[in-house]
Amino acid sequence: MRKRGYHHGNLRQALVEAAFTLIEAKGPTGFTLSEAAKQAGVTPAAVYRHFEGREDLIAEAARQGYEIFADLMQYAYDKGQPSALASFEATGRAYLAFARQYPGHYIAMFESGISVNRTSELAEVAARARGVMEKAAMDLSQHIPSDKRPPASMFSAHIWAMSHGVVELFARNSPGTQSPFSPEDLLESGIGVYLRGLGLIKPDG
C-alpha cells in the first residue's frame, strides 16, 4: 500500500518522531535528514520546509523532551507535597524514570551537544525544568541553619549531577560500568548520604 502524504500541519511532528527513533537506534549524530525523511515517509526536500538541518531537528526534539521532563518533575514535586523532603527525593527519582521511559528525548537533551540556548523556546522550557528542582531544594534547605545552608541552585545542581551520573553510568548500559546495585538503589542511597551530610536526615534514618 502506498504511504499517504503528510499534511502540512503534522509533517513537522512526524519528522520529530522519526528523529526520536533514529536517535535511539544510531545516536544523535548517526543519522541524516534524508533518513529522517524516509522514516517519516516523505521526500528529503520536504524536511527543509520545517528544519534547516539535522541540528535544528534535534533541537526541536530536545525542546519536546524538556517539556515532558519539566511536567514530570512538577508532577513529582506536587506528589511529594506537603513534605519538602518527599518532594525533593521525588524529583531525583523522576530524573531516572524519565531517562528510562524517554531515551530518545533524553539523548537529544543531554547527549547531542545541542545548547539549551540554541532557541529561546528551548532555553525557556529547560529553565522551567531546572526551576522545579531548585524550588524543591529551596523548600528543603529552609530546614538547614542559615550559616550552613548551600544556595538552592548549588543544592539542586548536586542532585542533578548525581542523578545524571547514575543514568549515564548505570542505567544506559554503558560498556565497562556495571554495578551489583540497581540504578534506583544507587541514586536513592546517594541522595540519602548527601542529605545526611546536610543534617536533613538523621544518621539512623
Give 168-188 pLDDT, tens digit per residue: 888 776 555 677 788 888 888
Contact 105, 69 (CB under 8 A): yes
Picking from 8-17, 31-40, 196-205, which range would have the lowest pLDDT averaged per residue?
196-205
Separation of alpha carbons 184 and 166, rounded Å: 9
Q: The pTM is what?
A: 0.85
Q: Are both 101 and 135 inside the same structural domain? A: yes
| 35 and 64, same domain (yes or no) | no
Residue 9 burial by Cβ neighbours in a 10 Å radius (0-12, 13-18, 19+): exposed
Burial 170-202 (b: 16+ CB within 10 A, else e): bbbeeeeeeeeeebeebbbebbeebbeebebbe
Task: Report the C-alpha gap between 205 and 130 in whole angstroms.
Answer: 28
Q: Does 74 lie in the same domain as 24? A: no
Q: Are residue 130 and residue 175 in the same domain, yes or no? A: yes
For residue 185, how many C-alpha atoms fall within 13 Å in the half-sphere facing its CB?
4
Number of domains in the chain: 2
Distance CA 40, CA 34 (A): 10
CATH number for the domain spanning 132: value is 1.10.357.10
Q: Are residues 144 and 80 both part of a single domain?
A: yes
CA distance linking residue 130 with residue 147, whole number of Å: 24
Highest mean pLDDT among 28-42, 63-77, 131-145 belongs to 63-77
Percent of the chain predicted with pLDDT > 90: 38
**Cβ–Cβ contacts within 10 Å for residue 73, how many?**
25
* pLDDT average, residue stretch 7-29: 86
What radius of gyration do the chain's Cα atoms show?
Answer: 20
Mean pLDDT on 153-162: 88
Q: Do residue 88 and residue 43 come from a single domain?
A: no
Residue 146: partners with Cβ closer than 8 Å, 6 or more residues away: none
Mean pLDDT across 91-114: 91
Give the contacts of 195 (CB within 8 A, at least 6 positions apart).
Answer: 85, 201
Mean pLDDT for all residues in the chain: 86
Mean pLDDT for 109-131 is 93
Q: Residue 19 is part of which domain span?
A: 1-51
Round to the nearest angstrom and report the end-to-end CA distance of the chain.
62
- Higher pLDDT: 74 or 10? It is 74
- Contact criterion met (CB below 8 Å) for 51 and 33: yes
